[in-house]
Structure 1
């Protein structure tokens, strides 16, 4: 059998990400979708913004790149016009993906370009149509499960957009040893989320119930797994970190706060508890008993509605009484969790499609997003302007470029401004909100 040329040559891959979780998804996706026999150089670009990951967050993610740089959107477009890449992964929020697609179309014109890939970090439980149409125009829009692939195609076909880019894969960070039985001590882990729930009352309730569970079961180790430290941001803004909510509370000796790589925490987990975190899918992949809480209701705003039919929904009362969940195997299979050993082949279709596109004679045509100044004249210009791009995708006058890099003083000011923004989000904004409720 003939082997495509792209399967044996060296490949240059770029990933643009706007948070620690999206960098993790983008970099691991890049590793999963490149042909196995290829020698790959991975260059990482971090989009400058409120959630730009810190050095500690990058180290915790544990994904290494051959180069890593922080850029604005316009600086990134300038780099893409100068550097020849084979594959580009856009691991961004939807609006940023759309802006980069139009910016790249303008930067590349009809010349050679890489295969462009995008997708979602985890469970898609809100803004399905909005997020999908903002990602339309990439060569591959990755769906993390059969369930998502069906929904994605339905949205694209429903608006008359080309749905051929939708490609079923799986979450790229699943893995680890399968659960083999209870640890000593039995360990319960609550996977916290930065914005779910989004208010002090509900977050305090969940914290108090976790502490109560630790008191009810002194023989167990109860861990609160945190995503970021105060002052850091991840994909979503965390206005009320659990680290601050726990201050002053009387906690038992078997209750602890932990950070670190989720996979390493799951290595010692006997029961994973969450509201709707993607960590639930990681745990289910490894057959770790998993509970999605119903205490605050099963609601779209919480994202736990995604788990209806999973067999994992339960309350703290049931957990305190010793409940052990049993996941529905059919539901698990449709969610791309791949507990049946099929995970290693989950990316085969994506790899084959990319190899075909790389070998395409005459190169690839210009990117063609669904949104254009004609189809969305009241929506698209605002999205592009937020990234200093005009309606045609070209940088607006005065936008910073790579050949006008900020000097040391400006870099210090930027870091200070980012710190002030995060302080405002986590300290000042909640106070103002409480004052407004008086």
Structure 2
């Protein structure tokens, strides 16, 4: 099978590539990185551990015009809702009147805890919209069916990066001591005080428990971007502290699955790493120190039995997720790709209808028009003036990278210093 994955960040490439490899092992997977704020670096791509047959960086109009899509069997849209909707319009224009087109599939990288209706309607029009659990499938159907969107487009699967290696609670710690991993998030919490609080509690836990290793698992290095903006990088905050860090506290990067191989307790506010640890049967702590709030996403885990706080962790808390909750969340699915393989096979065996995004220039002219213009497209999905002109030569690409890194350096390092000097 020839699969093309459009991704706008390292996380969404990990999701899309993992889906491609999981549902059709041995397939020819091509990567298309959407040029923008979160375009992954070579290091971030290598960290995912999946090597594509080819890789390009392009704008949305350039992607939709790529000649290799004519031979594609499946296109996975691993992008934010607005970009996904724009891609549906661009591909609808590209394949209008064509005898053959690829199957279009999209979905969500993690838990869906905000803007559900908005995100779902922006994804409507894809042949397959993935639901990561029975819980999500029910919710998605409740949005689609009353609006006349066929519920048959919803296919249940599971997050592709849920590793099958189970956690052994009786393992010895000959190679390393009992390990607590704090999985950080780029934008949860978003403010400096909240992030500094979380860092200080991890440091405090390391001091209170000198026999443990405490890992602060970072998503990106200072200057790199990921799915969300990280204005106050934990390592930068640590550099600004006056007291030395305890020797048993370590900042780590790399593949999350490999970090979990040595972890005994996963601690986070609401990272999808919690789903990975729960899938393994590992103790998992969802922090409530800054409140159980929709803005933090930890409200999603209320029924898991894992919501706790740093003080309880200091005292030895190591909660395990309720089995009924994990089952409904699709965390421990036995055959996550079975239904998906069947559905893709059915679609490939018959002519596909024209691509029909939910919003059109007639039904939502202002919304769709603005959404498409921002991404270089005309209201009918065709490329805007000059949109497909190849402007990604070495000099321009280097300039974009330099500007991007300079901006992020200013946000992450210069701005905090100015705030300190000004007493902000």
Q: Please give the TM-score of this superposition, normalised by the length of structure 1.
A: 0.91
Cα displacement string for residues 157-198 of structure 1 (whole angstroms, at most 9, x for unaligned residues) = 233323221111000011142111255211000000000000
The answer to whether 1:198 aligns with 2:190 is: yes
Measured after TM superposition, the shift of residue 321 of structure 1 is 0.9
Between 418-427 and 316-325, report the one with greater CA deviation.
418-427
Give the corresponding residue for 2:11: 21
Q: In 2, Cα distance between the equivalents of 1:323 and 1:410?
A: 52
Cα displacement string for residues 323-360 of structure 1 (whole angstroms, at most 9, x for unaligned residues) = 1213211111011111xxx43x1111111010010011
Give 1:406-421 correspondences, 5 Å limit. 406-421=392-407
Between 410-419 and 149-158, report the one with greater CA deviation.
410-419
Measured after TM superposition, the shift of residue 429 of structure 1 is 5.8
List alignment gaps of at least 5 residues for structure 1.
Answer: 1-10
Q: Please give the TM-score of this superposition, normalised by the length of structure 2.
A: 0.94
Give the corresponding residue for 2:21: 31
The answer to whether 1:170 aligns with 2:158 is: yes
Measured after TM superposition, the shift of residue 150 of structure 1 is 0.8
For the residue of structure 2 that corresponds to 1:164, the secondary structure is helix
Task: State which of 371, 377, 397 in structure 2 corresponds to 1:389.
Answer: 377
Cα displacement string for residues 202-240 of structure 1 (whole angstroms, at most 9, x for unaligned residues) = 111111111111111111111101111001111111000
Give the corresponding residue for 1:306: 300
For the residue of structure 1 that corresponds to 2:219, the secondary structure is coil
Q: In 1, Cα distance between the equivalents of 2:215 and 2:119?
A: 33
Q: In 1, Cα distance between the equivalents of 2:233 and 2:255?
A: 18
> Structure 1 residues 433 and 83, CA, compared in 2 at 3 Å: closer, same or farther?
farther
Q: Is the 8 A contact 2:85 2:123 kept in 1?
A: yes
The answer to whether 1:50 aligns with 2:44 is: no
For the residue of structure 1 that corresponds to 2:189, the secondary structure is coil
> Structure 1 residues 332 and 241, CA, compared in 2 at 3 Å: closer, same or farther?
same
Between 57-66 and 415-424, report the one with greater CA deviation.
415-424
User: RMSD of the TM alignment (CA)?
Assistant: 1.9
Q: Is the 8 A contact 2:285 2:319 kept in 1?
A: yes
Cα displacement string for residues 241-290 of structure 1 (whole angstroms, at most 9, x for unaligned residues) = 00011113422111111111111111111100000000000000001100
Q: Is the 8 A contact 2:183 2:217 kept in 1?
A: yes
> Paired residues, what number?
417
Q: In 2, Cα distance between the equivalents of 1:322 and 1:234?
A: 33
For the residue of structure 2 that corresponds to 1:365, the secondary structure is coil
Q: Is the 8 A contact 1:136 1:370 kept in 2?
A: yes
Task: State which of 342, 347, 352 in structure 2 corresponds to 1:352.
Answer: 342
Q: Is the 8 A contact 1:50 1:422 kept in 2?
A: no
For the residue of structure 2 that corresponds to 1:350, the secondary structure is helix
Q: Is the 8 A contact 2:236 2:413 kept in 1?
A: no
